[in-house]
Structure 1
Amino acid sequence: MKHPVDVHVGKRIRHRRWMLGMTQQQLAEKVGIKFQQIQKYETGMNRVSASRLWDIADALDVQVAFFFEGMSEDNDAQTDTVIKGSANDLLTDKEALELVRSYYAIPENQRRRLFELARVLSDVA
């Protein structure tokens, strides 16, 4: 049975890798493992050791704590510790991730204007 913490960490690895436009193969090469192992980490099938998580964090240019952000305070192994209905649900939505990646590819001044437009449109809806 998959542990909810392993699933959450795996989702965070996939999210960050995807945001950087990195393939599983590229991440695996940076970490020095096979891409199949990255697949297993991302699905929560395999638990990521502390040293491996350190290497993955370095390869993805984040702090180790990044992988645990969004976990609930009461970490019960029998419950889903990912907060439902929050931004964490977006980590599994490929369209949302693609939108965010595209958004950050826009020059900053245009991005601010687009953000303001989106805010106005969401207030109207």
Structure 2
Amino acid sequence: MNISRGFLLTGAVYLLIGIALGGHMGASGDHSLAPVHAHINLLGFTLMTIFGLAYRLIPGLNAGWLGVAQFWLHQIGGLVLLVALYLLMSGTLPPETVGPVMPVAEGMVLLSAIFWLANLWRAAR
């Protein structure tokens, strides 16, 4: 698996989603989804691009299972978290429905960050 390519391509997709949401908010004048927009840009575009560039610049990050686990935890946790945040902030689903899902997704993103740190500690010496 090419982890760098995966992060970079996924980050580019989130960039387009973030731009589209920002354009929609600007055109409509409704900025109630600004927190969703910010999370899409930070968790999606910015972090994934940084991860992708780091995996390209530090080849040792690709060795072992930590990189693959970090990639998938961030992908799944981030996507679930962003969708849940959208459903909550847009009023599509009540907090009682979305609320229990968010800590699980946040935990996946946190575990991904822990794997990132462990992988950096191991590979970037």
State TM-score, norm by structure 2. Answer: 0.33
Q: Kindly indicate which of the two structures has a greater share of residues assigned to helix.
A: 2
State TM-score, norm by structure 1. Answer: 0.33
